[in-house]
Structure 1
Amino acid sequence: MARKIGSRYTANQILGRGSAGTVWLGEGPDGPVAIKLLREDLASDQELVGRFVQERTALLGLEHPHIVTVRDLVVDGNDLALVMDLVRGTDLRTRLERERRLAPEAAVAIVADVADALAAAHAAGVVHRDVKPENVLLDMRGPIGPGGSHPALLTDFGVAKLIDSPRRTRATKIIGTPDYLAPEIVEGLPPRAAVDIYALATVLYELLAGFTPFGGGHPGAVLRRHVTEAVVPLPGIPEELWQLLVQCLAKAPASRLRASELAARLREQLPTLAGMPPLDVDEPDLSEEAAEESVPSAPQGEPVRRRGAVSLVPGAKPDSNRDTHTSMRVPGPDELAGGAHGTARAPRATGAPRPGSARHKAAVRRRRVTLGVAGVVVAAAVAVGAWFASSGGDDDQPAPGTHSTSAP
C-alpha cells in the first residue's frame, strides 16, 4: 500500500526491513528513489530528530560515484526518512552468500571502490562507523570492472551516528556489528576515520576467506578477539597484499592506512591478481569454542563455522535488507583479559584444550589436585624417614616421646 513521505515523495513498495527501519521503493519529483523510513520510536525521540536535522548538511553534501547519494531528509509528523538514490543491483552480502568467497581480483576491486568512497567521506569529516558487506551495494547496470566486478557503492552513511545518541549509549554501549568493530570502539574510545579502515580490511579478509578474521561464537568472544588476538594468515595470496591487510587490521589506529592510500595500494595489486581463482581456505572449526562459550553448537558431527556477522539474539533471522545496527554492552577489563594478548592463538595438539578455556581451566585444577596429593605423600614419606632416623633403626627402643608396646 502506497504512503506519502512528506510532501514530495511516495513510498510504493517495501524492499526490505531492518533493525533501524524499513526500506521502500519510492517515487519523487525526479523519478524512482529508495526511502529508508526509520522506526517510529526513533521518530518520536526529539533528541534524535534534532541530531537528524543537524546532520542534514553533511549527509546531503556527500556526493561521489561510489557513495549512494542521500537526496533528502524528511521530518514529517511520525515520519523520519532518508531519501536516497535507487541502485539497481544487490548487496555484497548476497553475492558473498551465493559464491562463498570471491576471486582476489574481484574482491580487491570492490574494496578499492569502497575505499574511494570512504576517502571522500573522511575528507568531508564524516565517519561511516558501520562498514560491512550489507552496506555495500553492487550496481548491476554499471560497467564491468576487474575480475568481472560491478561498481560498488557504500550506503547508510550517518545512520549509525544518528541512532547513537548519548542518551542511548552513555559510556556503556557501542553501535555497530561485532565482526567489523575496531578494537578502539570495543574499548570505548570515540570512533575516528581509522575505524572504517579496520572494518573495510575485515570485509576484504571475508571476501577472500569466506569468513571474518575474528568472528564466530558469542558476541562477547568476538569483541574480545578484536582486542587481544592477531589475524590468522591466509595462504595463497601475494605477500604484499597480505601485509596491506595486516597493516589495516592493526590494533593501533595510527598504524592503519588512510582511505585514499588504501584505495591506491589496492589498485596497484590488481595486475598481479588477474586470473587468480578464489582461495582454497579451510574455515575454522569452532565446535570446541562454541561449547566453551555456552553457545549452542551444530548437530553432532557437524562443525561450527564462522559465516559473516553473528546474530545477537539466538534464533533470530537476518533482516531482509540486512540493516543490522546494534547496541551492545562494552565488555569489562576482566572479560577482555581472556585469550593470548596481542598474539594469534597458540598452536596446540589435536583435542588439547584452548588456553584460557573452560576445559583448560578444569585440566589445570586437576593438575593442582594431583600435585597437592603428591605433596602430601612426599611429606608423609619425609616424616617416616625422619622417624626412622631418630630411632636409629633399633626396633627395641621406642622413639623419644613415644610409648613402647612391645613385650618385655
Structure 2
Amino acid sequence: MARKIGSRYTAHQILGRGSAGTVWLGEGPEGPVAIKLLREDLASDQELVGRFVQERTALLGLEHPHVVSVRDLVVDGNDLALVMDLVRGTDLRTRLDRERRLPPEAAVAIVADIADGLAVAHAAGVVHRDVKPENILLDMEGPLGPGGSHPALLTDFGVAKLIDTPRRTRATKIIGTPDYLAPEIVEGLPPRASVDIYALATVLYELLAGFTPFGGGHPGAVLRRHVTETVVPLPGIPDELWQLIVQCLAKAPASRLRASELGARLRELLPMLAGMPPLDVDEPGTETVEEAPEEPLAGPPPAGEPAPRRGAVPLVPGAKPADANRDTHTSMRVPGPDELAGGARGTARVPRAAGAPRPGSARNRAAARRRRAALGAGTLVLLAAIGIGTWAATGGDDADAGPRDTGDSAPASP
C-alpha cells in the first residue's frame, strides 16, 4: 500500500528491512528514489530529530560515484526518513550468502570502490561508523569491473551517527556491529576515520575467506578478540595483499592507511590477482562428518538448557552465549581493562586448509590421541628391541654356557 512521506514523496513497496528502519521504493519530483524510513521509536526521540536536522547539510553534500547520495531528509509528524538515490541491484551480504567467498580480484575491486567513497566522506569530515556488507550495494546496471565485479556503493552514511546520541550511549555503551568494530571503539574511544578503514579491511578479509577475522560466538567474545588477538594469515593470497590487510587491521589507529591510500594500493594489486580462484579454506569452528565424540564438559547443563558453545566467552557478566551478531547498533557496555586483559584463550579463529581439523576440535583431539597411542606403541617396541639387543649382547652367552668360576668370586655365604 502506498503511503505519503512528507509532501513530496510517496513510498510504494518495501525493498528491505534493517535494524534502524525500513527501505521503500518511492517516487519523488525527480523520479524513483529509495526512502529509508527510520523506526517510530527513533522518530519520536526529539533529541535525535534535532540531530537529524543538524546533520542535514553534511549528509546532503556527499557526492561520489561510489556513495549512495542522500537527496533529502524528511521530518514530518512521526515520519523520519532519508531519501536516497535508487540503486538497482543487491547488497554485498546477499552476494556473500549466495557465493560464500569471492575471487580475490572481484573482492579487491569492490573494496577499492568503497575506499574511494570513504576518502571523499572523510575529507568532508564525515565518518560512516558502520561499514559492513549489508551497507554496500552492488549496481547491477553499471559496467562490469575487474573480476566481473559490479560497481559498489556505500550507503547509510550518517545513520549510525544519528542514532548514537549521548543520551542513548553515554560513555559506557558501544553501538555498532561487533564483527566490524575497531579496537578503539571497544575501549571506549571516540570514532575517527580510521574506524572505517578497520571495518573495510574486515570486509575485505570476509570477502576472501568467507568469514570475519574475529567473529563467532557471543558478541562479548568478538569484542575481546578485536582488542587482544592478532589476525591469522589467509593461505593462498599474495603477500602484498596480506600485508595491506594487516596494516589496515592494526590495533593502533595511526598505523592504518587512509582511505585514499587504501583505494590506490588495492588498484595497484589488481593485475596480479587476475584469474585467481576463490580461496579454499574452512571457517574456524566448522566440522566435517565422522567426528569423534566431544570430550565431556565439566558438568551437565541445567535441565532444558542447551550445552554452551565452546569458545563463546562472555565479556559482559551474566550475558547468555549466542551466535555471531551482525545486527547494526548492538548496544553493549564498554568492557573494563581487567576484562580485556583476560585474554581470549579458546576463542581464536584460525583459518586452515580445507579438510584440515580445527585445533581443539573433536577431530583434532581424536587425531592427537591416535598419534599419542601410535607413539607409545612405537616407543614400547623400540624399548623392547633395545632390551633384547642388550640382553643378547651381555647375558645371552652366560645363559647358554652356564655358571662360570672366574677365581675372583668371594665364597658364598652360608
**Shorter-chain TM-score tier:** 0.7 to 0.9
Counterpart of 2:332 in structure 1 is: 328
Matches within 5 A, 1:306-317: none
Q: How many residues align?
A: 337
Contiguous gaps of at least 5 residues in structure 1: 306-311, 354-408
- Identity among equivalent positions (%) equals 86
C-alpha contact (below 8 Å) 1:217/1:286 kept by paired residues: no
Which runs of at least 4 in structure 1 moved beyond 4 Å after TM superposition? 294-299, 312-318, 343-353
Q: Which amino acid aligns with 2:146?
A: P
SS in 2 for 1:331: coil
- Identify the residue that residue 94 of structure 2 maps to in structure 1: 94
- What CA deviation, in whole Å up to 9, does each residue of 1:258-283 have, x standing for no partner? 00000000000000000000011121
Quick check: 1:20–1:38 contact (8 Å CA) kept in 2? yes
Residue 90 of structure 1 aligns to a residue whose secondary structure is strand
One-letter code aligned to 2:71: R
Does the CA-based 8 Å contact 2:130-2:328 persist in structure 1?
Answer: no
Taking the aligned partners of 2:350 and 2:96, their CA distance within structure 1 comes to 30
**Aligned-pair distance for 1:338?**
2.3
- CA deviations on 1:100-143 (whole Å, 9 max, x unpaired) are 10000000000000000000000000000000000000000000
Change (3 A) 1:139 1:323: farther
Task: Determine the structure 1 residue equivalent to 2:142.
Answer: 142
- Structure 1 residue 61 corresponds to structure 2 residue 61: yes
Following superposition of structure 1 onto structure 2, how do residues 279-298 of structure 1 map, counting pairs within 5 Å? 279-285=279-285
1:222 aligned partner? 222
- Deviation readout 1:35-59 (Å, 9 max, x if unpaired): 0011111111111011000000000
Residue of structure 1 equivalent to 2:131: 131
What is residue 401 of structure 1 aligned with on the other side?
Answer: none
Residue type of the alignment partner of 2:13: Q
Query: Unaligned regions of 5+ residues in structure 2, if any?
Result: 288-293, 313-318, 352-356, 363-414
Which amino acid is the alignment partner of residue 329 of structure 2? Answer: H
Residues 286 and 304, structure 1, Cα contact 8 Å, conserved in 2? no
1:104 paired residue number = 104
In structure 2, what is the Cα distance between the partners aligned to 1:350 and 1:82?
47
The one-character-per-residue Cα deviations of 1:60-81 (angstroms, maximum 9, x if unpaired) are 0000000000000000111100
CA contact (8 A) 1:175 1:325 kept: yes
Aligned to 1:180: 180
Residue 8 of structure 2 corresponds to residue 4 of structure 1: no
* Residue deviations 1:176-224 (CA, integer Å, cap 9, x gap): 1000000000000000000000000000000000000000001000000
Check conservation: 1:181, 1:199, Cα contact below 8 A. yes
Moved more, 221-230 or 276-285: 276-285
Measure the CA separation in 1 of the matches of 2:2 and 2:320: 32
Distance of 2:113 and 2:129 partners within structure 1:
17
Shift of the 251–90 alpha-carbon distance from structure 1 to 2, 3 Å rule, reads same
**1:334 CA displacement:** 2.5
The alignment partner of 2:270 has SS state of helix
Distance change (3 Å), C-alpha of 1:131 and 1:346: closer
Residues 1:99 and 1:33: Cα distance change in structure 2 (over 3 Å): same
Q: Which amino acid aligns with 2:125?
A: G
AA at the equivalent of 2:240: E
Deviation track 1:70-96 (CA, whole Å, cap 9, x = no partner) reads 000000111100000110000000000
What amino acid does structure 2 have at the position aligned with 1:87?
Answer: V
Structure 2 counterpart of 1:332, which letter? G
**Closer/same/farther in 2, CA of residues 345 and 175 from structure 1, 3 Å limit:** closer
1:14 positional shift: 1.1
* Of 32-41 and 247-256, the range deviating more from structure 2: 32-41
CA contact (8 A) 2:129 2:176 kept: yes
Query: 1:339 & 1:55 partners in 2: Cα distance?
Result: 39
CA contact (8 A) 1:247 1:256 kept: yes
CA distance in 2, matches of 1:282, 1:296: 25
